[in-house]
Each structure stands twice: as structure tokens, then as C-alpha cells.
A and B are shown apart, each in its own frame.
Chain A
């Protein structure tokens, strides 16, 4: 079964993603969904920025867009991004802990829709978003990965995640890339059902 990788980050996330994405090479078969806390400013600069360091195509999904392997999906500004079986869904409901997009909202919906096939990754960040969602992923049988707090630009988010649930791997950034490649490479690509 193909995995669904969900990644959440806030402060320091741009640098972290810039280091993580190059590890996900063209053969990478899973779908990767990223929430980076962001302001309301319009434009596609964030997508363009991430694309420069990503061998995989990066895009902001539209409502009800099918989830494909070998793609990086970035949560659009000012919407929550949710995962349903087979497709994305968007919502403008109120920010959760001041964040829209919210990591918890993405992670919880991923856990509900895909259970044990979900790999949740929390990177650097200065708040507690994602901890609850990562716990949901764990209790649905999925895998929890957290960036080693000492090596994170902001450690609050990794620390909150570690306090919230049993983490499968606490790793420096570079090893997160290797771990994900290991889990996701060399499998046939396809639409997530």
C-alpha cells in the first residue's frame, strides 16, 4: 500500500523544507502534503520557492483534486486543507490556534481517511500546532516522525509533538529525508484510493 506523507511546520519551515525536499527524488512514489504556516498574502511565491528545491512537482491543490503519488501538495493560503478518501477538500472554517491552514486539521483528516498508511512529520516551529494531529495519526495506526528539537530552528513544535504521543523516530532533518525515501521509494506510483 502506498503511503501518504503529511508534513507540518511553521517558523524555520522554509529552510527545513528546502533541505528536506531534495531528498525526495523522482522515483518517490508517495504523495507528500505540506502545511507551512503562512500569512494571507496572495501570489504563488511560496510554491515557486519550494519548487526550486524539489525534484517532485509542487502544487497547491484545488478542491476535490485527486491525490496522486510522486507529487508535493502545498496547503493554499487562507484555507484549511483536508484529506478525504481519494481527494483533497478545502475549508474556510475559522483558524485553529490562529492557523489557517492548520496542521492539526490536515493530520486529523489524514488519520481518519487513511489510518495506518499515513506518515506524519513535524518539523521546526514555534507553536504547538500538529501535536494533536500527530497523536491522531498514531492512534489510527500510522507512523510519527519528528525533527530532533535540538537541531530545529524553533523547537517548540517538535517538543509539543513529542510530548503528545509515542514517536516512531526523532531524527535530524537529513535522516528524515532518508527515512521517507526508504518508506516510499521503489513502489508503483498511482492514485490514492
Chain B
């Protein structure tokens, strides 16, 4: 009970404010974050409140709805883009040894990186496929909801300072050449060899609001669904299931799995530790 004797809800005020804000952003702009995982979402909203210099989540809501530049900043804040080349080298090593032999049996291979961020994962895959002699018959679709990161992904320009870490990752991932064969350094950046881009296709796609757009032999969706709540995860698992050919391969992040999802029974495990699965029914 508040001072005036009004009934105050059990649910925290901030939770209500966040729900209202997300609803407003969805109804007005069509950007749908209503089913993102609540804890990390709350952190982002609080950070936006601070950065925008407003007093409360409700005040942020008002600013978001009346000021599109505020919305753009908010969208940028909500898309967590941290990524790196050959992140989790063991994953790529397992991909080489367990997935590549399967892919050799197809005359033409379509891969989909869902939530590719700035593209490091995509260029890593292009290098791997190239070294395995598969690249000429592959088409790699790389999508993200965020047009800003996609623009960077298309350029294929990455900070020079990251190359030391990536080189170590590349070697651990079973790399067969010198990592530096693949890029040219320019000032504090490197540009990846344009030949690697030949079969890459970057485009905007939102896993929440867009549907299946092709049939793939491989779908990688790593460290993207951790930002979704369980209901939304289920939906996206269905979307990915529908987008895979029978016996297609599905890879998720190191700390994700198909356990606790309704599609678990549709996949066989190809490599449990490296989170590689194969659609079998």
C-alpha cells in the first residue's frame, strides 16, 4: 500500500516501466525486443537512462518515442556485437574434422550465419572453407538485424591490434597457412583479401520478425539466442529447423545447447562439446 492507500503492484515498478517502453518501441517503430532475456535487457535500459541523461525509464520511453535519433542510439546499445575471428578455436577445428567431410558430398553448399555482427565469424569460415577447397562451391549468407554492423562486415576491415589474438586462434583452429596471407595491413587496420568475399552475401534479417528465406546445409547461430528469453528461443529454434535441409548441420555458441528446447529430438549430436548438431528428423 502506498501513502495514499492505493494498491501498489507486486511487480517492481522498473519492470513495468521497461515492459511499457518495449511495447511502445514495438508499436511505434516495429522493433521488437519484448521477448529478450530480461536481465541483460535491464542492464541495457539502465545504461540508456544514464547515457541519455533522463530521470527514469518512463522518461526514456518518452524521449525514445519523440526523438528518432534517441531510438537509433538505443538500438545500437541493444545489439551486443562483441565477436572475434576463430572465437573458440576448438569449434572451428571440430567443424573441419566433422562437418567438412559431410559438406564434400554436396555439389553446392549454402551456409547461414544468423546474427553475424561485424563479420569476424564469417571471414573465419570463408578462410576455413577456402583451405578445405570447398569455398568455390559455397555461398555464405550472413545476416544481422543491425545495419551498422553489417556495413562493417561487408567492408572486411578489422583492427590491426586484434590480429595477434586472431593469429593464435587461427592456428589453434587448425589453420593451414600463415594467417597474414589473408590480409594486408594499412595503418592500424587490416583489409581481408577481396577473394574471400566473392561468395559472401550480407543482408539484414531479424530473427524475431522475419521468416525463413532459404534452405541451408549449415546454419550457425552463435551467441545470439542467449539474448532471447525461452519463449523466443523456441520460436527461433523452429525457424532454424525449418531453414535446414534434412541432415543439415546446426552450430550454436559454447554455452548454448539444444537441451531445454523443443527441437532437441530432431537433431543428432555431431560434437557435444563444440555444440554441433545434425538435423535427422
Give A contacts to B, CB under 8 Å: 42, 60-65, 76, 79-80, 82-84, 87, 89-94, 105, 108-109, 112-113
Contacts and interface: CB of A to CB of B under 8 A. Distances in A.
A139 to B, nearest CB: 13
B90 A91 contact: no
A30 B11 CA distance: 24
A61 B226 CA distance: 12
Contacts of A89: 37, 39-40, 226
B39 A113 contact: yes
B89 interface: yes
Contacts of A79: 255
Contact of A91 (B89, B227, B230, B254): B227
A63 B257 CA distance: 8
A42 B89 contact: yes
B88 interface: yes
Contact of B226 (A91, A94, A108, A112): A91
B43 interface: yes
B82 A94 contact: yes
A93 B226 contact: no
Interface string B257-270: 10110000000000
28 contacts: A42-B88, A42-B89, A42-B90, A60-B255, A62-B255, A62-B257, A62-B259, A64-B230, A80-B40, A83-B39, A84-B38, A87-B230, A89-B37, A89-B39, A89-B226, A90-B226, A91-B40, A91-B226, A92-B80, A92-B223, A92-B226, A93-B40, A93-B80, A94-B82, A109-B39, A109-B43, A112-B39, A113-B39
Residue of B82, B90, B256 with most partner-chain A CB within 10 A: B82
Contacts of A92: 80, 82-83, 223, 226
A84 B256 contact: no
A38 to B, nearest CB: 14
B243 interface: no
Contact of B233 (A62, A64, A82): A64
Interface string B63-100: 00000000000000000101100001110000000000
Contacts of A83: 39
A91 B256 contact: no
B42 interface: yes
Nearest to A77: B254
Contact of A84 (B37, B89, B253): B37
Nearest to A40: B165
Given A91-B80, A105-B43, A112-B39, 16 more contacts: A63-B225, A63-B226, A63-B256, A80-B40, A82-B39, A83-B39, A89-B37, A90-B226, A90-B255, A91-B40, A92-B80, A92-B82, A92-B223, A93-B82, A108-B43, A109-B42
Interface in B32-48: 37-40, 42-43
Contact of B255 (A76, A84, A93, A112): A76
A108 B255 CA distance: 21
Residue of B38, B40, B80, B227 with most partner-chain A CB within 10 A: B40
A84 B256 CA distance: 16
Interface in B88-140: 88-90
Interface string B232-258: 010000000000000000000111110
A91 B37 CA distance: 10
Contacts of A80: 40
Contacts of B40: 80, 82, 89, 91, 93
Nearest to A106: B39
B240 to A, nearest CB: 16
